[in-house]
Amino acid sequence: MNEVFGIPLPALLGQLMLGLVNGSFYALMSLGLAVIFGMLQIINFAHGAMYMMGAMFAWMAMVYLGIGYWWSLVLVPFAVGAIGIVIERFLLQWIYKLDHLYGLLLTFGLALMIGGGFRYVFGAAGQPYTIPKELSGVIDLGFMFMPKYRLWVIVASLAVCFATWYMIEKTRLGAYLRAATENPKLTQAFGINVPVMVMLTYAFGAALAGFAGVLAAPTTQVSPLMSANMIITVFAVVVIGGMGSIMGSIVTGLGLGVLEGLTKVFYAEASSTVIFVVMVFVLMFRPAGLFGKEK
């Protein structure tokens, strides 16, 4: 009764919880990508750099300014969002009517430049970030001792993800955003400032990545290299869920995180590739993704 397919039940449940933590990061990161692509039709390879900047800014605020975790969780997303505004106003606005390839190449170049700049200044070595005292320690779940901070990551990520979904899908502001991207001329005729709406959309997507970076800082070594593996995995999540699908990104991110955790239990050698295997099969039978809409 204490085993499932020969695996001890506590070990299985423990991996499910850890998979849910990873899935929370995937959901939060892919949500920002989905917002930017769904509203602006930009394949944003610079998203990983925004995630890295969120973690690096939090570490810099702690080391150089004495600003703790909770203030960083509030201030850093605004700082990363402000950088997103500069990028959108000076670079991206000129390529909206061009082929998607131009946006991909531009944001890929930006990611290389941002990453290279941080490596030049801070080096490639990872730096530790202290977990806040309120979230240190563990909670006994019965089947495992779960670090409080990882539970906080799950709660915070889900709260932000579903708040974003509600704002875009259920509020008047979300309706304005969708209208501004689907029919900008008609929307502007009703007195809505479409360029500002587009700019704030990109800034919001960047801020989500910055928020994810601050959440990730205490769980990993903060480094300019931390975005490389994450952005590749998150793009796979977005493709599986459906490019531009808000709910698809959330559900797929959480589901694939759990699947990755289960794979570590039953066949650990495949845990690093299972998401990409799923992506291949989904694209074979549903090219628009699980929640995407065929054009």
Q: What is the pLDDT of residues 27-55, one digit of tens each?
A: 988 888 888 887 778 888 899 999 999 99
More confident residue, 123 or 271: 123
Average pLDDT over residues 236-249: 85
Phi-psi region of 106 (alpha: psi -120 to 50; beta: other; left: phi over 0): alpha
d(CA 88, CA 198) in angstroms, rounded, equals 9
What pLDDT shows up at residue 184? 67
Percent of the chain beyond pLDDT 90? 33
Q: What is the pLDDT of residue 155?
A: 92
Mean pLDDT, residues 57-81 taken together: 94
* Residues 6+ positions from 233 with CB-CB distance below 8 Å: 26, 275
Query: Which of 134, 105, 97 shows the shortest CA–CA distance to 45?
Result: 105
**For residue 59, what pLDDT is reported?**
95
**Residue 294 has what pLDDT?**
62
